Amino acid sequence: MNLQEYLKRRQRLIDRALQLWISGKDEFPPQLHEAMHYSLFAGGKRLRPILALAAAETVGGRAADVLPLACSLELIHTYSLIHDDLPSMDNDDLRRGKPTCHRIFGEGLAVLAGDALLTEAFHIMTRPDLMKGVSPSRRLRAISHVARAAGSLGMIGGQVMDIVSQGEKVDSPLLEYIHSHKTGALIAASVYAGAIVGGGSPRECQALKMYGEKLGLAFQVIDDLLDVQGEVSKLGKAVHKNGIKGKATYPAVFGIAESRRQAEVLVEQALACLKSFNERANPLREIAKFILKRTN
């Protein structure tokens, strides 16, 4: 399969669905909806929704049934970026090559646009006119898992420890906590919830969840490496900012070569989780391999 073409097709599918399902740019209040759309359509890779779709298809589900859930994962991801960039947190001016939400709309509106995207995620997942092909109890299970992964014991927990440990010496267990929660939890939940909604058996869902956990951690290790080695023009955000801010990163704790090796091991482990699946899991396999090659 041609992964780049697959990813592009999926990005277009997801972008069209997002445009269709989230509150329009012309809804009242205009400032709020402009801010939401500004961050949501700022060139995200749509990794989480693509993973949810690919996981559903791996277990024989239909993309159309999973699309609302997939979109919701991108809304949650986008809200987390808006809030992470705030002056009271990472204080970033640039995201995906563009000024951050609060630089354009002000801090108050950026907080509220993030809140609204998070809330809208749960609205789309529960709308009575969507996901009609999925049983209500499977839907509830998937939403519950996403909520847990995005909450205080998941993504938000990781972000808190990332902030409070800035400038402090971080040991490897805490580093793994931060990375597996801040980035890994939502990536793993995307795969797992996609598999649930796609109709996967408990055993299939469990294997895919483990794939997602390995993949999510590998993704963040590579992110750290790109921050050290990457170029502003490719990343669309400042480089070396982790070092400047005294952030806990894999290269800082393990060095560049060992971090790279760990990412490779994680991707191997992720691929091993897919052993029992047939060729329908090929997109998940290709995505895992691609993680190691990405430059932005």
| Residues making contact with a second copy (CB under 8 A) | 23, 27-29, 31-33, 36, 79, 83, 86, 88-89, 106-109, 111-112, 114-116, 118-120, 122-123, 126-128, 135-137, 139-141, 143-144, 147-148, 150-153, 156-157, 159-161, 163-164, 177
Q: Tell the smallest beta-carbon distance from residue 293 to a second copy (Å).
A: 33
Cα 260 to Cα 258: distance, rounded to the nearest angstrom: 5
Q: Which residues contact 204 (CB under 8 A, 6 or more apart)?
A: 58, 59, 195, 277
Cα 276 to Cα 96: distance, rounded to the nearest angstrom: 37
Between 146 and 267, CB nearer to a second copy: 146
Cα 67 to Cα 134: distance, rounded to the nearest angstrom: 11
Between 124 and 267, CB nearer to a second copy: 124
Q: Tell the smallest beta-carbon distance from residue 153 to a second copy (Å).
A: 6
Between 102 and 285, CB nearer to a second copy: 102
**Residues 197 and 131 sit within 8 Å (Cβ to Cβ):** yes
Q: Which is it for the CA torsion 269, 272, 277, 281, positive or negative?
A: positive
Closest C-alpha among 189, 241, 251 to residue 220: 251
Between 13 and 79, CB nearer to a second copy: 79
98 forms beta bridges with 95
Residue type, 204: E
Cα 80 to Cα 203: distance, rounded to the nearest angstrom: 30
Structure tokens at 21: 């399902």
Q: Tell the smallest beta-carbon distance from residue 163 to a second copy (Å).
A: 6
Three-class DSSP category at 207 = helix
**Residues 93 and 99 sit within 8 Å (Cβ to Cβ):** yes
Between 153 and 232, CB nearer to a second copy: 153
Residue type, 238: A
Q: Tell the smallest beta-carbon distance from residue 173 to a second copy (Å).
A: 11
Q: Which is it for the CA torsion 129, 130, 135, 139, positive or negative?
A: negative
Between 35 and 70, CB nearer to a second copy: 35
Q: Tell the smallest beta-carbon distance from residue 205 to a second copy (Å).
A: 14
Q: Tell the smallest beta-carbon distance from residue 272 to a second copy (Å).
A: 29
Cα 258 to Cα 227: distance, rounded to the nearest angstrom: 16
Q: How far is CA 63 from the centre of its chain?
A: 18
Between 136 and 255, CB nearer to a second copy: 136
Q: Tell the smallest beta-carbon distance from residue 113 to a second copy (Å).
A: 8
Between 135 and 296, CB nearer to a second copy: 135
Structure-token match 């995005």, residue found: 150
Q: Tell the smallest beta-carbon distance from residue 149 to a second copy (Å).
A: 9
